[in-house]
Amino acid sequence: MTGIERIARWTPGDHILWRYRGHAPDLSGAAVHICRPVTVVEDAAELLAVWMAPGTECVKPVLADGTPVHEEPLATRYTAPRTVTRARWSGAGVLKLARPGEPWSVWLFWDRGWRFRNWYVNLEEPRARWAGGVDSEDHFLDLSVHPDRSWRWHDEDEFGQAQLVGLMDAEKAARVREAGEAAVEVIRAWGAPFSDGWEHWRPDPSWRVPELPADWDQRPAQLTS
C-alpha cells in the first residue's frame, strides 16, 4: 500500500486547506504563511481540482506593520520583518488544478459574469497531501496564459531577488527555471489542463464557502506526495 492510498481521497464538496510553507530564512516565523480553504471539485489519481470561492477567509503574509508585501520595495521585500494576517479573498473565485508530482499548479481566473480571463501557472513544490489538505512551497516565478494561447513570464524580478537574499540557491533556481520551461512546452503543445475545457466549468451553487479553521497552521502528522 502506498502513502497516497493511506490518505483517503476526497469527494466533491469536501473542504480542505491549500497551504504554502514559508521560506527559510522567513522573518514571519510561520511554518505556513499562506492558507486558503477550498472546496474539492475532483480528486483522482491524475488530478486534484479545487475551488476557492469569492469571500473566502484566507491567511496571507504582510509586513510587520501590516503593509501589503507587494508594496515593499523589491530590495527589502524579502528581508523586512513579516507576520501573517487573515483577509477575505476579493474578486471572482479561483479554480486550481494540480497533477501529482508536477512542480506547478494551474489556476483559472474569471472576470465578473464568468468571462474567462486567463490561466496562471504557479511554479511550486509538488504538493504534499495530508488529511486536511495539501502543502507546497511557492517558487516565485510564474506564467500567465491567455485564451488566444499567448503566454508570458511573471515575477522574474522577485525570482532573482529571492536568490540574492538567500531564499533559493543556484541549484534550486535552475530546477525552478527548468520546470518553467517544461510548463512552456505543455502550453505550446496545448496539453492538459489547457485543452480540457475547464474554463467552462462552474461551481455547484449549493456549495457553501469553507471556513478558515482555528488550527489552520497545524503541522500534519503525515505527508504523502
Cell output for 128: 504534499
Sign of CA dihedral 123, 5, 22, 171: negative
Domain range summary for the chain, segments of one domain joined by +: 3-194
List the pLDDT tens digit at each of the 225 positions of the chain: 344 445 789 999 999 999 999 875 554 445 899 999 999 999 999 999 999 999 999 999 999 999 999 999 999 999 999 899 999 998 899 999 999 999 999 999 999 999 999 999 999 999 999 999 999 999 999 999 999 999 999 999 999 999 999 999 999 999 999 999 999 999 999 999 999 999 999 999 999 999 999 999 988 755 676
pLDDT at 7: 73
How many other CB atoms are found less than 10 A from the CB of residue 123?
23
Phi, psi of 221 (to 5 degrees): -75, -25
Cα separation of 101 and 225, whole Å?
7
Cell output for 80: 523586512
pLDDT at 225: 62
pLDDT at 22: 82
Q: So what's the architecture of 3-194 in CATH?
A: Beta Barrel (2.40)
pLDDT at 77: 93
Beta strands in 53-114 (DSSP E): 57-63, 82-88, 94-98, 104-111
* Residue type present at position 23: H
Cα separation of 218 and 215, whole Å?
5
In sequence order, the β-bridge partners of residue 119 are: 108, 145
- At which residue does the C-alpha cell 486534484 appear? 48
Strands 82-88 and 133-136: unpaired
pLDDT at 219: 80
Between the alpha carbon of residue 92 and those of residues 54, 56, 103, 179, the distances in Å are: 5, 10, 25, 28
